Structure 1
Amino acid sequence: MRTILRSLFVLFLLAGLTALGAQTTLAYDTDPEPIRVVIEPDGNQMLFAQDEFTAKAGQEITLVFKNTATSPAMVHNVVILNDNDDATINRVGQAALTASDNEYVPEDDAIIGATALAKPGETVEVTFTAPSEPGKYSYVCTFPGHYSMMRGTLTIQ
């Protein structure tokens, strides 16, 4: 009788664990964890010290721009674009010249995220969702005259 009771106990225990495992699998969250990326300028040059970073498709990204430059002329922002095309970068960079009222961030469908301008010593950030398609995407500084040199690449896996 004891053997039968033990066998039934083990059987019910295994059935319960199997059901629990099935529930865990069904409830599994496949969304990638949010990430935080810190970018700085390369000294007083019009270059990003971190000119590339990687994220997963659809991942929430908080991009922190820490302006460590010391020259008062080195005001920067970070504008993330939805492609890696030079024509898009040039169009957005040129349009930024007339967008001083919006911190040199023009209205353009290619922009998926943008920080505010940061003077030397300031830190700004923006949170955005990474593109859903794997590939390479650009980020640039759109302060007048900077976009041609101050570029980076966001790689989406």
Structure 2
Amino acid sequence: MNTQTKISALILMGFLTITSCGKKQDGQIGEPADTTETSTEGVAAPVAEENVLVIEGNDQMQFNTNELKAVAGKPIKLTLKHVGKIPKEAMGHNLVILQEGTDEANFALKANDAKATDYIPESEKASIIAHTKLLGGGEEDTIEFTIDKKGTYKFICSFPGHVAMMKGVLIVE
């Protein structure tokens, strides 16, 4: 490891140590939107879109929720927002939804060697339902996909070292 890399790593570790003491925010983010219909004089109001999910990743290597919910067979529109400030080369985040039964640790190990494809290993494409782009601070990405089968699907950030803290489940009911 050259001197510049060592210094960069030390600065990043120091920054993470200082900023990781912030409090985690609670919220309703990640819950599917309610669908409601009301009528006024026989005219139905528009129905809110189901399966609209928003999740945030920050510079402390945390998603703001570890559970998302969606309805089976309906299109899912998922937005990942990187609310931090650190560029993706040092603190990149993505969200990868894995097929049921996929070993997340094994997937993450293979992802470590997939820098050229933003830590999405070509050999594991069959294990992926959907994934966002790799994002740096202040960026966001929205993906759309459908899961027909009810179940619990793991999601992770596949940036090296992040899976330990950045993971959760997508519950499809």
TM-score, reference length from structure 1: 0.71
Do 1:98 and 1:104's aligned partners in 2 also have CA atoms closer than 8 Å? yes
Residue aligning to 2:116: 101
> How far apart are the structure 1 equivalents of 2:77 and 2:114?
24
**Whole-angstrom distance in 1 between the partners of 2:154 and 2:80:** 15
* Moved beyond 6 Å, runs of 4+: none
Structure 2 letter corresponding to 1:118: L
Provide the residue aligned with 1:90 in structure 2.
Answer: 105
- Residue 129 of structure 1 deviates from its aligned partner by 1.2
Aligned to 1:79: 96
Q: 1:48 Cα shift?
A: 0.7
Give the corresponding residue for 1:64: 79
Which position in structure 1 is the counterpart of 2:144? 127
Alpha carbons of structure 1 residues 34 and 101: separation in structure 2 relative to 1, 3 Å:
farther
In structure 2, the residue matched to 1:5 is: none
- Structure 2 SS opposite 1:120: coil
Partners of 2:85 and 2:136 within 8 A in 1: no
> Cα distance, 1:74 vs. partner?
2.2
> Looking at both structures, which has the greater relative contact order when contacts are Cα pairs under 8 Å and sequence separation is at least 6?
1
Q: Residue 141 in 1 paired to residue 160 in 2?
A: no
1:116 aligns to what? 133
Structure with larger Rg: 1
Question: How many aligned positions are there?
Answer: 121
Tell me, yes or no, if the aligned pair for 2:50 and 2:71 is still in contact at 8 Å.
no
Tell which deviates more after alignment, 60-69 or 87-96. 87-96
Q: CA deviation at 1:57?
A: 1.4
Q: How large is the RMSD of aligned CA atoms in angstroms?
A: 1.6
Is contact 1:88-1:110 (8 Å) kept? no
Unaligned runs of 5+ in 2: 1-48
Are 1:36 and 2:52 matched, yes or no? yes
Q: Deviations over 1:29-60 (max 9, x none)?
A: xxxx653211102x422121021111111221
Residue deviations 1:90-147, cap 9 Å, x none?
Answer: 12111111111111111311100010100000111221112x3222111100011111
Percent identity (aligned)? 38
C-alpha distance in 2 between matches for 1:139 and 1:98: 19
